Amino acid sequence: MTVKPVRPPVAFLVALASLAGAVPLPADEAQPVEVYAATGVAGALEEIAAVFQKKTGTPVHVTSGGSLALSRQILQGAPADIFVPEGPGALVPLLRVSKVNEQSSHLLATNTLVVAARAGSALPPATPEEIAGERFRQISIADPDATTAGIHAKHSLMSLHLWERLGTKIRISPDVKKALASVESGEADLGIAYATDVRTSEGLAVVLSLPETSHGPIQYIAAFVARPGASRAVRPFLEFLRGPEARKALLDASLTPAFP
């Protein structure tokens, strides 16, 4: 009796290969993956998306913005397949209505709170205490009542007992971009922001990292969003986010991957 070899279903092979980035998905499965991401991680995700598309043929669209604003958009029906906010707070409203769940979410990367100055600045601060020194007239931060970067900056300065000492030296800007722009223009001597934001600002350099223990964790969590009509490539892309190409892109963006 001749025994015929058992072949796995074609669909299984395609799914397995797409996870490894070996072959592109069929045309009818190449519906774009829609990613909504916090500004601090969006640049890295765009790099990862480009590699994923090259390997699989499936495009990935990245929409960036503030985490809470993006969370509200998703609640109102925005077509997100994956949500990557900063911190768990923006996920809470989605968890309540079962748009996301903890089992399908994982920590992707962390960011660093740093002090920035104009590139080539003489005598930058060597310690956090030196920020309050006489040679620095103004320190610019994003609005702590409206931005997470500003919240972390204020908490760090308070924890280091510098908030009161700095007093009127603290310059509040509406957002991180404007805070760093004031440093670039010379209106402020120093700025406190995320490492990823300083990296993309021309003419600025990181001169000091603030202690991680002085503020809450700056984390980016990747969460699967339940919605009808989602792309079949969502879960393969989520797996791709834990691979070597994703790790390299995160590191290149001054982020620390949360996976080996």
| The 3-state secondary structure of 178-236, one letter per residue | HHHHHHHCCCCCEEEEEHHHHHCCCCEEEEEECCHHHCCCCEEEEEECCCCCCCCCHHH
Which range has the worst mean pLDDT, 2-16, 47-61, 107-121, 219-233?
2-16
User: Does residue 9 have a pLDDT over 50?
Assistant: no
**For 134, phi and psi rounded to 5 degrees?**
-65, -25
Q: Taking 50 as the threshold, does the pLDDT of residue 3 lie above it?
A: no
- Mean pLDDT in residue range 214-239: 95
Rounded-to-integer distance, Cα 9 and Cα 97, Å = 36
Same-domain status, 142 and 78: no
Single out the residue in 214, 234, 249 at which a domain terminates.
Answer: 214
Which of 196, 172, 200, 162 lies closest to 184 in space, CA to CA? Answer: 200
Q: How many structural domains are present in the chain?
A: 2
Between 248 and 6, the more confident residue is: 248
Q: What is the pLDDT of residue 1?
A: 44
pTM for the full model? 0.82
* CATH (domain of 251): 3.40.190.10
Same domain, 117 and 208: yes
C-alpha span between 116 and 57 (Å, rounded): 39
Count of other CB atoms within 10 angstroms of residue 228: 5
pLDDT of residue 24: 54
Residue 118 lies in a domain: yes
Look up the domain containing 64 and give its range: 30-110+218-257
Q: Where are the alpha helices (DSSP H) in the chain?
A: 10-20, 39-56, 67-75, 92-96, 148-159, 163-166, 176-184, 195-199, 234-240, 244-252
Residue 24 lies in a domain: no
Residues 106 and 122 both lie in one domain: no
Query: Looking at the predicted structure, is the pLDDT value of residue 6 above 80?
Result: no
Residues 77 and 201 in one domain: no
What does the pLDDT read at residue 88?
92
What percentage of the chain has pLDDT greater than the value 90?
Answer: 80
Tens-place pLDDT, residues 100-126: 988 889 999 999 999 999 998 888 999
Q: How is residue 232 written in tokens?
A: 């079949």
> Does residue 46 register a pLDDT over 90?
yes
Collapsed DSSP state (helix, strand, coil) of residue 60: strand
Same domain as 226, residue 192: no
**Are 80 and 152 within one domain?**
no
Residue 13 lies in a domain: no
Pair (222, 168) in one structural domain: no
> Is it the case that residue 2 has pLDDT exceeding 60?
no
Residue 7 lies in a domain: no
* Beta strands across the sheet bearing 33-38: 60-65, 33-38, 82-84, 219-224, 105-110, 256-257
In a domain, 23, yes or no: no
Q: Which of 11-15, 20-24, 57-61 has the lowest mean pLDDT?
A: 11-15
Rounded-to-integer distance, Cα 45 and Cα 125, Å: 32
User: Which of 199, 214, 229 finishes a domain?
Assistant: 214
